[in-house]
Structure 1
């Protein structure tokens, strides 16, 4: 009888704990898996014909001073607001990343924003965005401009406008330093490679190496985390980004020589503000000619990519 009472008491206690637990605590969700490409890669959709993708809107005359911006222009709107709102990365070392000492976001892309803001005579408000957010924040006018290693192409021209090219990059791949592969093509079928979501790197990887398994992360830092945790064997993306990844991980290396795309970077701006695109192109012309572009390149990229090349030449014709 005593044993039966004890068993009944234990059962009642367990029921009480279960009842309390169900009303007080929520189950811990399992970590979400990285997004994986479909087993059969989709055929890339044909891009709309926009002519020469890197062709932008030519500046109209000399660059106006901050105190003499055209009346009714978007530049005047920004000037009255007192700040330029820019979408940027905070985890792409040397392009746009947060300094762990000062807390400031800095890098080559940030320099481009600061040059534009100085030409307008305003402060800068940086809004950290992920790769998939680059187009939406421009199209819904959450920001005035995006500087986040964004490749100019015809598909994007159908949704936003671009400045003239401000940097010429190319897609490469990062692998463990102990790996002796000279090309991603040397890897076994199904090897997992990470690219940022919403990037041209993903489409390029699927087209060039369809036997590899492509997974994605919303940020460049997300891909690095997957690589360092062993969930991705390597990372494929722009050389600028991979140079920053390798600088953060002594056990990683960028495969030399294998570059399988051309990635012209442009500053993204709304199609509603072509006057601002022309203004930004005037700023880019100035910094390319007066040495500021070269100084910025050497500060952020020379250690990993060598001395500054000639700045990319502007192409106009829209």
Structure 2
């Protein structure tokens, strides 16, 4: 009986080994185009920019007090009591404000400029609290008091000066175009009918929307989102400040910066209204950086790929 059962088992196993398994059921999945979060087409004009002011003029500085001895009752004294300078920054703009993947630290030209302000208040550049702020939230962060200053490739415009104050200009960029090598995109006219990416809340977005003929403008949260969309052929070009585009081009050798300047973008440090003493103090720090070589040193460290240092922008003060 046992031998008969064993023989039957061998027959069944042999039959099983010789038969092919049934094919898996067919599954059909339509391809899905994945875009960065909050990516959207811009169909309404961003807030108009005003040209009714001298946008680059700021308050003249007074003598800088010694570090650790801020004037009683001043905004700087309040910051000193807190123990940290709170700064709104970026973490996605290579060379200006970016998170180093090896250290996790936010670094860049803007970050080191902010550290010079902390050094002037405390005598220690590390007494600083870096808070990441989206481009569209810069004014809100200053008005609400979430940050003391914003140092974040922050173009000075007359419209923005109605809401917040600015330092003197510490860097000047030109809006240009980033496109894949070999494409027939060289000028603003070549953007007509093309898909162009920019970041929400930036002057670059407003400048693109104002073009005639207008490209198809797509807005995202960060410039690295724009680069991802360009790499995935979801847009044809990116347009913003050449300093920002240079950082993107370093991350992707298949793209290049093309065309002449579309607009001049002077960067300033944002300060909340009703803190004129802090504006004057920051301007004093920037003036010292111009004179003692600190600006050139920071340029050489972070921005030398843009070319030889042009030297710091000349400060322009109100009433002079």
TM normalised by structure 2 equals 0.84
Cα displacement (A) at 1:209: 4.5
Contact 1:184 1:209 (8 Å CA) reproduced: no
How has the CA–CA distance of structure 1 residues 286 and 202 changed in structure 2, closer, same or farther, with 3 Å as cutoff? same
Cα displacement (A) at 1:183: 1.3
Secondary structure of the equivalent of 1:259? Answer: strand
Instruction: Map 1:88-127 onto structure 2 (within 5 A).
Output: 88-121=89-122, 123-127=127-131
How has the CA–CA distance of structure 1 residues 68 and 223 changed in structure 2, closer, same or farther, with 3 Å as cutoff? same
Aligned to 1:156: 160
Distance 2:54 2:49 in 1: 15
Secondary structure of the equivalent of 1:260? Answer: strand
Secondary structure of the equivalent of 2:248? Answer: helix
Secondary structure of the equivalent of 1:262? Answer: strand
How has the CA–CA distance of structure 1 residues 279 and 145 changed in structure 2, closer, same or farther, with 3 Å as cutoff? same
- Alignment pair present for 1:83 and 2:84: yes
Contact 2:49 2:157 (8 Å CA) reproduced: no
Distance 2:268 2:314 in 1: 12
- Alignment pair present for 1:230 and 2:254: no
Aligned to 2:209: 206
How has the CA–CA distance of structure 1 residues 46 and 292 changed in structure 2, closer, same or farther, with 3 Å as cutoff? closer
Consecutive aligned runs of 4 or more in structure 1 exceeding 4 Å deviation: 30-33
The structure that has the greater radius of gyration is 2
Q: How many residues align?
A: 282
Aligned to 2:274: 272
Secondary structure of the equivalent of 1:94? Answer: coil
Distance 2:302 2:57 in 1: 26
Aligned to 1:36: 41
Contact 2:45 2:206 (8 Å CA) reproduced: no
- In the alignment, structure 2 segments of 5+ residues that lack a partner are 1-33
- In the alignment, structure 1 segments of 5+ residues that lack a partner are 1-29
Cα displacement (A) at 1:181: 2.5
Distance 2:49 2:137 in 1: 22
Contact 2:143 2:164 (8 Å CA) reproduced: yes
Cα displacement (A) at 1:258: 1.3
Distance 2:71 2:213 in 1: 51
Cα displacement (A) at 1:67: 2.6
Aligned to 2:169: 165
Distance 1:247 1:296 in 2: 18
Aligned to 1:129: 133
Distance 1:196 1:215 in 2: 8
Cα displacement (A) at 1:92: 0.3
Deviations 1:25-70 (A, max 9, x none): xxxxx976622121xx649636273x3111111112x210123211
- Alignment pair present for 1:59 and 2:75: no
- Alignment pair present for 1:286 and 2:291: no
Distance 1:151 1:43 in 2: 15
Distance 1:226 1:174 in 2: 12
Q: Please tell me the root mean square deviation across aligned C-alpha atoms, in Å.
A: 1.7
